[in-house]
Structure 1
Amino acid sequence: MPTTERTQFKKLEDLPNVGKATAADLRLLGITQPDQLRGQDPLHLYQELCRITGQRHDPCALDVFMAVVNFMEGGPELPWWEFTAERKKTYQI
């Protein structure tokens, strides 16, 4: 699906891999619309979430952020766990 077709996603919960909990995390980060994910750094989102909440979140949250940013930037719809190996290699988290 080309990036231009991503405009059909109006709510965060419409995105693949995003349920109520992830949508709530994204809103804590000031992201309320799917198109705001374009150009975001997933690691920065994860680190900010940990800072804002005062706790270290499961690294799988970073996998989800990687998946949704990639998707909104035109990547394929993949389950979040497809990003686990990349996260471990890139971020050692």
Structure 2
Amino acid sequence: MNPQKVDRDRVVALTDLPNIGPASAKDLRLLGIEQPAQLAGRCPYAMYAALCDQTGVQHDPCVIDVFISVTRFMAGEAAQPWWAYTEERKHTLEQRPNQPTLNDLSAINL
């Protein structure tokens, strides 16, 4: 859903979350997340690593941005477009000395 249209009081389904459409909701369900409340306390980098592992595909890193946006939203932050987190993700991954592997991503604690 467009972050500007999100009403925190009406978030019931995954697609009620900012930046989550049907495809992203399907990805979340692959991770065992059926309800928005299940995102609380989750690490977006670990979620991304698990998604890549589960599907056998290296997904676009922008998926991390989407995961950051929804985990932060569920932690109480204002809804933001996913690209608001791109620089943060790039900075976080640049802190790794080599190209991050899936294991590196799942070890990042935020």
Same fold (TM over 0.5): yes
Which of 68, 71, 96 lines up with 1:69 in the alignment?
Answer: 71
Count of residue pairs the alignment pairs up: 89
Structure 2 length normalisation: TM-score?
Answer: 0.77
Structure 1 length normalisation: TM-score?
Answer: 0.90
Deviations 1:61-82 (A, max 9, x none): 0000000000010011100000
Gaps of 5+ in 2: 1-6, 95-99, 101-110
Counterpart position of 2:23: 21
Matches within 5 A, 1:1-93: 6=8, 8-92=10-94
Q: CA deviation at 1:9?
A: 1.0
CA-based RMSD of the aligned residues comes to 1.4
Contact 1:7 1:35 in 2 (8 A): no
| Partner-residue secondary structure (3-state), 1:21 | helix
| Partner-residue secondary structure (3-state), 1:89 | helix
